[in-house]
A = this chain, B = another copy of it.
């Protein structure tokens, strides 16, 4: 059954994609890191759309936390529609696009390069316009992605970002870390029957929120997008901190909240939020390994223990992908044919 959909097949390929990426690109990424060091890396701006924009959120958190380099997300329309002249000459500007086709991302990178920025493409197609526009390219080695809902190119992008961050810190064991992440993903895949069972209850869910704090903000955003694309559930991702500033008003008995709560620096605030949500009567679907927070959940989704915090978005995203995939099936939808979408979206 699992191989009948591209989406499910590609979810299953993710451990191998991460291992291949680490093997194929680590040397080149270390070389790139040396060149970036020589040039001096002060701050980063990231241009991306859709799933790639969620990968950009991971980039921002990881580089700020682990490298101390401030990162901002670009607003491509500033260049493509308003024709601004941005002073980016001290910046590294990173474009992310699995197809490498996104015209507004390509145009933003071209502008940044003209302005004197160093430019880097993360793309699954090293011959794409995005790669050709950039000084450097990290190819994702994910193989062709046929599912409209991106899965393996998302985690491959996160893997490439992880390697680059580690290389800049001369952390030589980074490829081993990706191998470890691949093993943890295999554990998540083994728990698929549990995830599948859990989705049945949400057959008629119309809306929900996806919550996290810190680096798993990327996970919440990406799982929200998968739920929207494949299940047509109106799902909005929030930092739990932002959620408490206003949107908490949405909470009424039964309101469904996905919460991604791995161990680490943000766990205490996630636990506090889980208790507030429960007190408000929310229906919580909690992805975590800690027993205390899982006990707060209406639907606990146990995750592997000892997931390193900075790798957790790679592992937790896969559980979210499986949740979205099986919920689509529970709703008798074909996750490979989201209505109104095509694989490559072009906006200016």
A32 contacts B by Cβ under 8 Å: no
Contact at A70–B45, with CB atoms within 8 Å? yes
Chain A interfacial residues counted at CB < 8 A: 70
> Which residues of the other chain, B, contact A53 by a CB distance below 8 angstroms?
242
Residues from 216 to 260 in A contacting B, C-beta threshold 8 Å: 217, 225, 228-230, 232, 234, 236, 239-242, 244-252
A73 contacts B by Cβ under 8 Å: yes
Residues from 66 to 98 in A contacting B, C-beta threshold 8 Å: 66, 68-73, 75-78, 81-88, 90-91
Given B77, B234, B251, which contacts A213 in the complex, CB threshold below 8 Å? B77
A65 contacts B by Cβ under 8 Å: yes
Q: How many Å from the CB of A296 to the closest CB on chain B?
A: 18
Contact at B234–A246, with CB atoms within 8 Å? no
Q: How many Å from the CB of A249 to the closest CB on chain B?
A: 4
Contact at B75–A60, with CB atoms within 8 Å? yes
Residues from 285 to 320 in A contacting B, C-beta threshold 8 Å: none
Contact at A228–B214, with CB atoms within 8 Å? no
Contact at B341–A77, with CB atoms within 8 Å? no
Contact at A340–B75, with CB atoms within 8 Å? no
Contact at A68–B86, with CB atoms within 8 Å? yes
A187 contacts B by Cβ under 8 Å: no
Contact at B341–A249, with CB atoms within 8 Å? yes
In the complex, the chain B residue whose C-beta lies closest to that of A82 is: B65
Contact at B77–A249, with CB atoms within 8 Å? no
A339 contacts B by Cβ under 8 Å: yes
A206 to B255, CA, bound (A): 12
A196 contacts B by Cβ under 8 Å: no
Centre residue among A65, A213, A239, A280 by max chain B CB count within 10 A = A65
> Which residues of the other chain, B, contact A69 by a CB distance below 8 angstroms?
86-87
A30 to B43, CA, bound (A): 28
With A265-B81, A269-B348 in contact, is A72–B75 under 8 Å at CB? no
With A214-B78, A241-B104 in contact, is A50–B229 under 8 Å at CB? no
In the complex, the chain B residue whose C-beta lies closest to that of A345 is: B245
Q: A53-B242, A81-B214 are in contact. List 16 more A-B contacts (CB 8 A).
A: A43-B87, A43-B90, A49-B241, A51-B246, A64-B82, A68-B84, A68-B86, A76-B241, A77-B214, A77-B266, A104-B241, A149-B246, A206-B206, A207-B234, A228-B247, A230-B249
23 inter-chain pairs at a CB distance below 8 angstroms, sorted by A residue, are A45-B72, A49-B245, A50-B242, A50-B245, A64-B75, A64-B84, A70-B86, A71-B72, A72-B72, A77-B239, A81-B214, A82-B214, A149-B246, A207-B234, A228-B249, A230-B249, A232-B250, A234-B236, A236-B236, A241-B348, A248-B341, A252-B339, A269-B347
